[in-house]
Amino acid sequence: MSKPLNDIQDSSPAISPVRGGVLALGNFDGVHRGHHAVIKAALDQARRLGGVPTVVLTLEPHSRSVFEPNRPPFRLTPANVKIRLLRKLGVDDVVVMDFTPEFSRMKAADFINDILVKQYAAKHVVAGFDFVFGHQRVGNMQRLRNGMAPHGIEVTEVMPCRDSQGEVMSSSRVRLALQQGDLSTARHILGRPWSISGIVEKGRQRGRTVGFPTANVDLGEYIRPKFGVYAVYARRVGSSKVFPGIANIGVRPTVGEDTELMEFYLFDFYSNIYDQEWEVELIDFLRPERTFPDLQALQAQIMSDTEAAKATLSCLHI
């Protein structure tokens, strides 16, 4: 049985011990450069107010998972990964509120008065230009400003973060880029290589038969990038030491499998990493997944992929 990737192992309780600070509101899937701008604005306001705490307030699971559970996986960052990335930006706390059908029916005014004002005693609120809230998503930034004003609480609206072509840096653009194998665009918007984290599981160990022992990671909630072979860097979560390698994301048609997963092989690496959580950064898309006539042909292609990945990683500076 695959271990879930969406266990929120390091989230905060629903009621934060941190009150009276600046609240940064949003979904933050991907924690991309647009999200960074929201967090920076919140940190700036906290300093302006004399060093009050900065708290990120977000919801899990994603509303799409609740209302459209049968749609394909789409997450850029499952909850535990999102929380880790947000905390690295220097906030004092990340609060995860449980998004349920009941919560979705909360009126916009009640969200403002009961959550932001009473529960978290916000001194200032920051959100992106497209932030919506309340039943049927009727709350927008203007309604947020109007609702906070009677309490003397200011609201900062963060405008879209755009690239040199004027395109908005958004989670949807990252998803599209990944599905097209365009890692450069995804990396540009995210401000880092996109990665997949998960528990390494023991598979059928077919890789050993062709001389390339691979580690398997269930894709879980992650959006499926373009199926194929990638040059990667990998690290054990919590460690700063990185290892170069290759990864195949897909269904492994040559060996008759149909389960979507990621297999990665690290160069000159011989340690047992089963049951450890590893993060694999996708650096370059090498080729699409395809079927080979036999294991010998597959072995020859993996050798070629390995050399291509080594050449790519040796000249990239990311």
Amino acid at 70: N
CA angle in degrees (0–180, nearest 5) for 39-23-79: 65
For every one of its 318 residues, what pLDDT tens digit does the chain have, with 9 covering 90 and above? 233 333 344 444 445 568 999 999 999 999 999 999 999 999 999 999 999 999 999 999 998 888 888 899 999 999 999 999 999 999 999 999 999 999 999 999 999 999 999 999 999 999 999 999 999 999 999 999 999 999 999 999 999 999 989 999 999 999 999 999 999 999 999 999 999 999 999 866 555 555 678 899 999 999 999 999 999 999 999 999 999 999 999 997 766 567 899 999 999 998 999 999 999 999 999 999 998 888 888 889 999 999 999 999 998 755
Q: Which two tokens stand for residue 310?
A: 């080594």
Q: Which DSSP string do the residues of 52-90 spell out, in sequence order?
A: --EEEEEEES-HHHHH-TTSPP-BSS-HHHHHHHHHTTT
Inter-residue contact 80 to 5 (CB < 8 Å): yes
- 318 Cβ neighbours under 8 A, 6+ residues apart: 187, 193, 283
pLDDT on residue 258: 74
Q: In what order do the strands lie in the sheet with 22-25?
A: 93-98, 54-60, 22-25, 124-128, 154-158
pLDDT digits (tens, 9 = 90+) for 53-103: 999 999 999 988 888 888 999 999 999 999 999 999 999 999 999 999 999
* pLDDT of the residue at 221: 95
Domains of the chain: 22-158 (3.40.50.620), 193-315 (2.40.30.30)
Q: What is the tens place of the pLDDT at every residue in 286-316?
A: 999 998 888 888 889 999 999 999 999 998 7
